[in-house]
Structure 1
Amino acid sequence: MTSAEEYKEEWTKEKEKNVSWIFLMKYLILALVVMLLSQFVWYELVQPEVCPLNTYTSVRGEDKERRDHLANAQVVVIGGGPAGSVVAHKAASVGLKTVLIEAGDGSQRVLGGKDWLFRDRTVFDVPLAWSYVSQLPEFLWQVAAGDIARALGGSGVHNAMLYVRALPGDLERWNASTWTYDTLLKQYLALEDFQENVPESNDDTKEIFHANGGPVAVSRNIVQDLLAQKFLETVKIAEDAEVSMPILNDFNAPHRPRIGAGPYHFNIRDGVRESAAAVFLGGTISGYDPIPNLQIWSGLTVTKLILNEQRKITALHLSKNSNALFIPNKVRSIHMNLHPDVSIILTAGAVLTPHLLLASGIGPSDAIPKNKEHIVNAPHVGKNLQDHPVVAIEFAVQRALTADIADMFARFNHWTKLGVSLNSYSSAFSYPGFSLGAFIHSGIDPYPEPDLQLTLFPIQIEPHLAPDGKNSSASVHYDKALVTVALIRPETTYDVRIGPDGRPRFYSPIGLYNELNHRKPRLVQRDVDRLAIGVRRVRKIFAEKPLSDFIIQETRPGIAVQTHEQLAQWVDSAFTQNAHYCCSVNFDSKSGSLDSATLRFKGIDNLYVADASAFPHIPNGNVHSTVVAVAAEFADRLTRSLLSSSHSTQQKKNSNEKRREHRKRR
């Protein structure tokens, strides 16, 4: 073999050796990447709940800072919805060190939102977009219970902005001397910035029932659609008693039973949604008017309340993964200790507040999952959940009836397809897409307050009742009008329980809301009958002139459904939840879990519940304004108590110091 051949053979062997090393290095690098990814998945998603603070070492810098804040906080509010926003603001404003923890992220512009519709407004700021944002999956808890907001602002940033107060009769049903209508009226007035001249009551008392100068705007719609106009004309001139009804200028006037039709009021200011969170937290988040004692933590989920032997909450488990609330043993959580004298306020809503309690071992023994320790026996937690179940009647209409609204929606529909910010902002976006409602009585019971609420939608935008199961602007039908009939004094109640998948489920004696087979909880028969009567009355109204001139035909439930029995069967299959959930951890004198005066949880000294869970009975009509008013009244009572206690403690401390000084002198 020549030297050239030997050199070539040697070079070939060396090349093969180098190629082998290159492949080996590639495999090693790939193995290292896989190992790092597996470590990330383990620590961030799969690792079980961590051990207590003194043996927990892998703490990030921001977690250390949060530990310090939490360990010194005097008030911790869990849930950044309407109630939590009010409570956190009021507590921090009087000097109490306050931490607000919210699982969701920013929504409106002043709340750190980033879903821009226009240069200074996110889609959450836009009244016309409410049905669109209420179905964005990244801002919802993925639970069978329905549309539960997971965003800073809670239901207040994706509801229809309706401002309907409770009636005096609702507070009489609460049967608590510490919660009267006069108590709530003071809060309604203190919170309200009525965008009109303040009227006087139309009765002999001349009582003022609106106010200017409060933090939350209450305004009438800038648009009254043609459907609303024709509906009012029809019921005003009708001779049939089932069609005729009074015309009311203000549903919130307290000294009448609220029977009749009229325009709604909304929480809208200058064409922008006015949520409680935007009002009470926006200054701190945006930095234009921060409250020094307030810490707001978004994107963090409280997965468990930790109690000591004295039944006092001493620590929380938190996670950056919202699913940790449902599968805490499979998702990494952090144990954080609390100040010995902290007050914990639950404001996570009437579904998730009892869920967190049950997940923490607080509730009825038969409702605590087998893998959880039963710590506090509270037999009424999760029971008595109430809602305003709703059905929808759909009519094919002439385009003339909806032309005014269709033009407004066309531009917004264009935005949803493009997904880019608009160069100009239409004043029509300030309109929520409907303007009129009515409150009627089924006649089944003798009490004077209404038990049915009608809302008229000129086009199909009601998010619970979208025609194709989707709730985007693309599903809007401009040739169909919708009338919803909601039962606002229901007898049906449910129990909130933790399902097999760790998520909340609704149970009742006559049916189960099951996420797997989509069966709904059924209504009691009297509730079915009330809704059927409401459907029949809507049909009669739409069959009368001048409204009937614009109606082509009823398309849902359809003319084939005629008898009361047929209507009742349709109601039972077609109704849906309204997400007005209340009353699941309430202060009812006989079956409640809370002290009625303080809303303190019975048996746990430093735990309070201040959201819609606390109501003994659901209010008549939309619940949002009453949630805010109750939270404001609770916060005033709590802060007075805490400041008084702090003052007494300081006085005692000063007195002890004086005695010690006196002994030294002697």
Structure 2
Amino acid sequence: MSDFDYIIVGAGSSGCVLANRLSADPRISVLLIESGGKDRSPLIRIPKGFGKILGDDKLTWHFPVRPIGPSNNVEEWVRGRTLGGSSAVNGMVYNRGSRADYDAMESLGNPGWGWDTILPIFRKIENHSLGADATRGAGGPLDVSVGPLVEVSREFVDAARGLGWAVTDDLNATDDQRIGPAVRTIKNGRRVSAAHAFLRPVQNRPNLTIAVNTTVERIVFEGDKAVGVQARTGKGRATYTARRETILSLGSIATPKLLQLSGIGDGSELRRLGIEVRVDSPNVGRRMREHRCVSLQYRLNRNVGYNKKLATAAQQALTGIQYLATRKGPLAGGAYDVVGFFKTSPELDRPDAQLLMAPFSAAPFEPGKELGLEREPGMQAIGYVLRPDSEGHVTITSADPDAPLDIDPNFLTSDHDRRVVSALFRTMRHLFEQSPIADLIVAETRPGSAVQSEQEIVDAALDHGYCGYHAVGTCAMGPSDDDVVDPSLRVRGVDGLRVMDCSVMPTMVSGNLNGPAMAMAWHAADLILSGA
């Protein structure tokens, strides 16, 4: 069968939700296309397995970006390449963003995307280990939990409490300055990806077809209407037809790429590459915002934390045996144990910075390699500007779908971002100077005490920090003719084509984006089914 009512391209956080919702009516046929394979790797279900997954090109895409920072480092941005997409390979932190984020989207001319619409969706999809209340849900398909904290993590939280930060078990219950154990998409020591939550329960529906190892290369048009896609499969090339709509859910990198390859983008650039221009839409791939993480790392005076249990292959094996027997221990937790949201200036009306703390210290990271830990005892924290306004871009370099992209992160170029990253770094460093966490610290090992000025902090973030893997805005929605999609997520200039992934966010949601992508996709399904 090659004819369907709806085609969804990309089986990540948004695509799995859309496949679930659109196929609920047995009269509607749905094709979900994923370029990667089935999510059968046992490492996907082991939460700490993400450290090895990130270097596996069978499960992840690696997109090189333009050189970053004074050292001109070439990083690779990682995205999931399997059912579940990046929700199958991420750090499992479940933040929802704040009321002000969604209300801001609505105020920009996107009716129906405000908090009063989105909060009930979060409550509907969640199955929270803390139970339901006015701000969270229980009984939904997405398992969410709060993990236990080891000694060093508890002392870090106590140090923040001493500075007046509110300590909470549910970081999503308030938008105020706060700190507490990370909320994670984990249940009983196992990762819960979008595929496990939304796709597995419905995968046997006769009206839902899931095509893996299938890479879409072009959108097919008849006149101004998108009628399907051309794809490369293990058996050759194939064309799939959508009677109603095609929905792109490939993420903020691959969605603009596919639009540009299909003739929707900056007309002058497309013509230069020999691509017929279907819609001159210069903001396709533009307006990209991304989190740049600045890192602090410390040597400890006692062998607490996870380094001892995870630094070597032998230690990993012993810890793995413990995990298989109990589903507990270091392997059962997400990327970070503690998350905090804080203000870099007291007069602000809400937090503008986020930190994430882990009871381990990382060995120097090599792009495309699995994450490693130091053998000596240590701990680390990263922090980033919650709502950066520096803008980068994603652009194809050829009409060949396999050609590399031109990705310019353009990190920390605005005065706002430079000021806030400097202030948040100083706040994090001040936190580590407080008892009881300070009593465990021997020295700051990264970036080092010599880093003091704003420029030195910015350089440290660029040279020794990390990408948050939270890109947004490359197909941003809005009411203007130059916005790539309209408030109903329809691609301007053509019919039968929508986008639903983080690329449609016109502003950055405060925090990690897996949860927001799923909730927004739930609302997108309502729009699609209503014919909006």
Taking structure 2 as the reference length, the TM-score comes to 0.89
Q: Output aligned runs, 1:85-124, within 5 Å.
A: 85-95=16-26, 96-107=28-39, 113=40, 115=41, 122-124=42-44
| Aligned-pair CA distance for 1:260 | 2.0
Report if aligned partners of 1:81, 1:153 keep a CA contact under 8 Å in 2. yes
| Aligned-pair CA distance for 1:213 | 0.9
* 1:494 equivalent in alignment to 2:392: yes
In structure 2, do the counterparts of structure 1 residues 468 and 353 end up closer, same or farther at CA, with 3 Å as the change threshold?
A: closer
One-letter amino acid of the counterpart of residue 181, structure 2: P
Q: Corresponding residue for 1:78?
A: 9
Partners of 1:413 and 1:155 lie apart in 2 by 29
Q: Corresponding residue for 1:313?
A: 226
Report if aligned partners of 1:216, 1:267 keep a CA contact under 8 Å in 2. yes
* 1:346 equivalent in alignment to 2:346: no
| Bigger helix fraction | 1
Q: Corresponding residue for 1:262?
A: 180
Q: Corresponding residue for 2:72?
A: none
| Aligned-pair CA distance for 1:551 | 0.4
| Aligned-pair CA distance for 1:320 | 2.7
The partner residue of 1:236 within 139, 155, 161 is 161
Q: Corresponding residue for 1:137?
A: 57
Report if aligned partners of 2:412, 2:458 keep a CA contact under 8 Å in 1. no
Q: Corresponding residue for 1:275?
A: 193
Post-superposition Cα deviations, 1:177-212, rounded to whole Å, max 9, x if no partner, equal 22110100111011011112334xxxxxxxx11121
Report if aligned partners of 2:38, 2:82 keep a CA contact under 8 Å in 1. yes
| Aligned-pair CA distance for 1:492 | 0.8
Partners of 2:369 and 2:314 lie apart in 1 by 12
* 1:583 equivalent in alignment to 2:473: yes
Larger deviation, residues 619-628 vs 407-416: 407-416
Report if aligned partners of 1:401, 1:550 keep a CA contact under 8 Å in 2. no
The partner residue of 2:293 within 384, 390, 404 is 390
Partners of 1:627 and 1:413 lie apart in 2 by 38
Other structure's SS at 1:142 match: strand
Other structure's SS at 1:595 match: coil
The partner residue of 2:377 within 479, 490, 493 is 479
In structure 2, do the counterparts of structure 1 residues 188 and 313 end up closer, same or farther at CA, with 3 Å as the change threshold?
A: same
| Aligned-pair CA distance for 1:99 | 0.4
In structure 2, do the counterparts of structure 1 residues 543 and 389 end up closer, same or farther at CA, with 3 Å as the change threshold?
A: same
* 1:365 equivalent in alignment to 2:279: no
Report if aligned partners of 1:261, 1:437 keep a CA contact under 8 Å in 2. yes
In structure 2, do the counterparts of structure 1 residues 418 and 390 end up closer, same or farther at CA, with 3 Å as the change threshold?
A: closer
Post-superposition Cα deviations, 1:351-401, rounded to whole Å, max 9, x if no partner, equal 100000001111111332513211221222111111111111111112333
Q: Corresponding residue for 2:514?
A: 624
Compare relative contact order (CA 8 Å, sep 6+) and give the higher one, 1 or 2: 2
* 1:209 equivalent in alignment to 2:135: yes
One-letter amino acid of the counterpart of residue 589, structure 1: P
Post-superposition Cα deviations, 1:527-586, rounded to whole Å, max 9, x if no partner, equal 122112111112212122221111010111112222334323333433432111112111
Q: Corresponding residue for 2:70?
A: none
Partners of 1:142 and 1:570 lie apart in 2 by 23
Other structure's SS at 1:147 match: strand
The partner residue of 2:128 within 181, 187, 194 is 194
Report if aligned partners of 1:415, 1:422 keep a CA contact under 8 Å in 2. no
* 1:161 equivalent in alignment to 2:58: no
Other structure's SS at 1:485 match: strand
- Count of residues in Structure 1 that have an aligned counterpart in Structure 2: 511
Post-superposition Cα deviations, 1:129-175, rounded to whole Å, max 9, x if no partner, equal 22222332221223214011111110100111111112111012212
One-letter amino acid of the counterpart of residue 381, structure 2: V
Report if aligned partners of 1:495, 1:506 keep a CA contact under 8 Å in 2. yes
Post-superposition Cα deviations, 1:19-45, rounded to whole Å, max 9, x if no partner, equal xxxxxxxxxxxxxxxxxxxxxxxxxxx
Identity of aligned residues (%): 23
Partners of 2:319 and 2:350 lie apart in 1 by 47
In structure 2, do the counterparts of structure 1 residues 189 and 377 end up closer, same or farther at CA, with 3 Å as the change threshold?
A: same
Q: Corresponding residue for 1:298?
A: 212
Q: Which structure has the greater CA radius of gyration? A: 1
| Aligned-pair CA distance for 1:587 | 1.1
Report if aligned partners of 2:307, 2:361 keep a CA contact under 8 Å in 1. no
CA RMSD of aligned residues (A): 2.7
Post-superposition Cα deviations, 1:290-316, rounded to whole Å, max 9, x if no partner, equal 21210000000000112222x112342
In structure 2, do the counterparts of structure 1 residues 396 and 358 end up closer, same or farther at CA, with 3 Å as the change threshold?
A: same
Post-superposition Cα deviations, 1:430-480, rounded to whole Å, max 9, x if no partner, equal 222532111112229x6522121111111135xxx8445575364444522
The partner residue of 1:505 within 390, 398, 406 is 406
Report if aligned partners of 2:53, 2:60 keep a CA contact under 8 Å in 1. no
Report if aligned partners of 1:245, 1:261 keep a CA contact under 8 Å in 2. yes
Larger deviation, residues 551-560 vs 224-233: 224-233
In structure 2, do the counterparts of structure 1 residues 426 and 209 end up closer, same or farther at CA, with 3 Å as the change threshold?
A: closer
Q: Corresponding residue for 2:492?
A: 602
In structure 2, do the counterparts of structure 1 residues 194 and 419 end up closer, same or farther at CA, with 3 Å as the change threshold?
A: closer
| Aligned-pair CA distance for 1:102 | 0.4
Partners of 2:254 and 2:47 lie apart in 1 by 26
Q: Corresponding residue for 1:125?
A: 45
Q: Corresponding residue for 1:639?
A: 529
Post-superposition Cα deviations, 1:282-339, rounded to whole Å, max 9, x if no partner, equal 1355xxxx21210000000000112222x11234221137xxxxxxxxxx96241525
Q: Output aligned runs, 1:310-459, within 5 Å.
A: 311-320=224-233, 334-339=237-242, 341-368=243-270, 370-402=273-305, 405-406=306-307, 408-409=309-310, 424=325, 426-428=327-329, 429-432=331-334, 434-443=336-345, 447-459=348-360
One-letter amino acid of the counterpart of residue 261, structure 2: A
Other structure's SS at 2:179 match: strand
One-letter amino acid of the counterpart of residue 294, structure 1: L
Partners of 1:503 and 1:385 lie apart in 2 by 18
Q: Corresponding residue for 1:220?
A: 146
In structure 2, do the counterparts of structure 1 residues 417 and 506 end up closer, same or farther at CA, with 3 Å as the change threshold?
A: farther
Report if aligned partners of 1:163, 1:625 keep a CA contact under 8 Å in 2. yes
Taking structure 1 as the reference length, the TM-score comes to 0.72
| Aligned-pair CA distance for 1:640 | 3.1
In structure 2, do the counterparts of structure 1 residues 499 and 177 end up closer, same or farther at CA, with 3 Å as the change threshold?
A: same
| Aligned-pair CA distance for 1:231 | 1.4
| Aligned-pair CA distance for 1:426 | 4.5
Partners of 2:240 and 2:435 lie apart in 1 by 67
5+ long unaligned stretches in structure 1: 1-68, 108-112, 116-121, 200-207, 239-243, 322-331, 512-520, 643-666
Report if aligned partners of 1:224, 1:435 keep a CA contact under 8 Å in 2. yes
Larger deviation, residues 130-139 vs 155-164: 130-139
Q: Corresponding residue for 1:4?
A: none
Report if aligned partners of 1:459, 1:478 keep a CA contact under 8 Å in 2. no
Partners of 1:490 and 1:251 lie apart in 2 by 21
In structure 2, do the counterparts of structure 1 residues 478 and 455 end up closer, same or farther at CA, with 3 Å as the change threshold?
A: farther
In structure 2, do the counterparts of structure 1 residues 367 and 177 end up closer, same or farther at CA, with 3 Å as the change threshold?
A: same
In structure 2, do the counterparts of structure 1 residues 427 and 353 end up closer, same or farther at CA, with 3 Å as the change threshold?
A: same
* 1:534 equivalent in alignment to 2:448: no
Report if aligned partners of 1:346, 1:609 keep a CA contact under 8 Å in 2. yes
Report if aligned partners of 2:93, 2:334 keep a CA contact under 8 Å in 1. no
Report if aligned partners of 2:8, 2:19 keep a CA contact under 8 Å in 1. yes
| Aligned-pair CA distance for 1:482 | 0.9
The partner residue of 2:117 within 168, 173, 183 is 183
